[in-house]
Amino acid sequence: MVIKRIYNNNVAMVEDEGVERIAIGRGITFGRSRGDELDTSAVEKVFTLDDPDSLNRLERLIKGIPSEYLSVAEDIVAMLRAELGSDVDDNVLIALTDHISMAIERERAEVPCDNPLLMETRRFYKKEFALALRAQDIIEDRLGIRVSEGEVGFITLHIVNATMQQRADHLMLSISMINEILGIVAEAFDLVYDEESIQYERFLRHLQFFAQRVLDKSVVQSEDTFLFHLGKDQYPAAFECTERIGEHVASTYGCAVADAEKGYLVYHIMNLVNAARADAPAAPSAAE
């Protein structure tokens, strides 16, 4: 490893086998200069990002924060990859490093973390929220500070972004859209959701990807309208509910919902409603 740039005594950009990397280790650059070989035995962590823009963003970020924050973020990313597989966007390392830096500053200054979407985030992204709680433990173990539940909610959103590759502003809108759609369906069918049921979990997962597709206008929506026409003929109540959802999404978010998307919604709504009705207690007879 050859030193290309020194940020502080503990962090340097190096060239290793023709690839630029960020190396971290206590005192690894002390007494060294650009062009020197780095003592790899003292290196604790090495970060490699395939995207040069991402590497540049990471470089700008670490100039102004303690190197420990980057190391903690890498531990969290390693945990996420162990739990979720390798399909975790590299950019989450940058997002988490930045967020940890701000969160620690807020905690030390005793500034409350206002997270208006915490309840919905915990409800709609249970798996990711559980992983964010583990990230909370990693931060406490490494830095000695336990961040608030509001911060855990924001870490959850970073995890969702890393796995669904959705723009942060779209994700915030998605949470609101999902909440509103659940309200429309509950009102239309007088439903009380069983949030532990497999049908609810499937519907919720469908809504997560539905919102992602609808909000991203660069995504070409499906033109397969078989379920749409089937729902119109055989499930008029679900079809009418889906039309209400389409109108709401158009008026509130300025996004058109294709007939194919409405067809899938009809399918999931009917599965949800049928399961709820099957589980409902039978009405008492007149004799009772």
Give residue-wise pLDDT tens across range 37-81.
Answer: 888 888 877 777 666 777 777 777 777 788 788 889 989 988 998
The pLDDT confidence band at residue 285, using thresholds 50, 70 and 90, is very low
Give the residue extent of every domain in the chain: 1-48, 63-164, 168-279
- Dump pLDDT digits (tens) for 111-159: 988 898 899 999 999 999 999 999 999 999 999 999 999 999 999 999 9
Kindly tell me if the per-residue pLDDT of 266 is higher than 90: yes
Residue 19, beta-bridge partner list: 16
- What CATH number belongs to 168-279? 1.10.1790.10
Question: Please, which residues have CB within 8 angstroms of residue 226's CB and are 6 or more apart in sequence?
Answer: 263
> How is residue 236 written in tokens?
């008029």
> 86: pLDDT confidence band, cut at 50, 70 and 90?
low
CA distance 205 to 171: 14
The CATH fold of domain 1-48? Transcription Regulation, Sacy; Chain A (2.30.24)
d(CA 122, CA 53): 32
Q: How many CA atoms lie within 13 A of 250 on its CB side?
A: 10
pLDDT value for 177: 96
Instruction: Name 11's Cβ contacts closer than 8 Å, sequence gap at least 6.
Output: 22, 23, 24, 28, 29, 62, 67, 70
pLDDT value of position 220: 66
Q: Tens digit of pLDDT for each residue in 231-249? A: 888 899 999 999 999 999 9
Mean pLDDT across 20-29: 82
| CB of 121 closer than 8 Å to CB of 157 | yes
Domains 63-164 and 168-279 share a fold: yes
- Second CATH level (architecture) for the domain 63-164: Orthogonal Bundle (1.10)
Give the ranges where 109-196 is alpha helix by DSSP (H). Answer: 118-124, 126-143, 149-164, 168-189
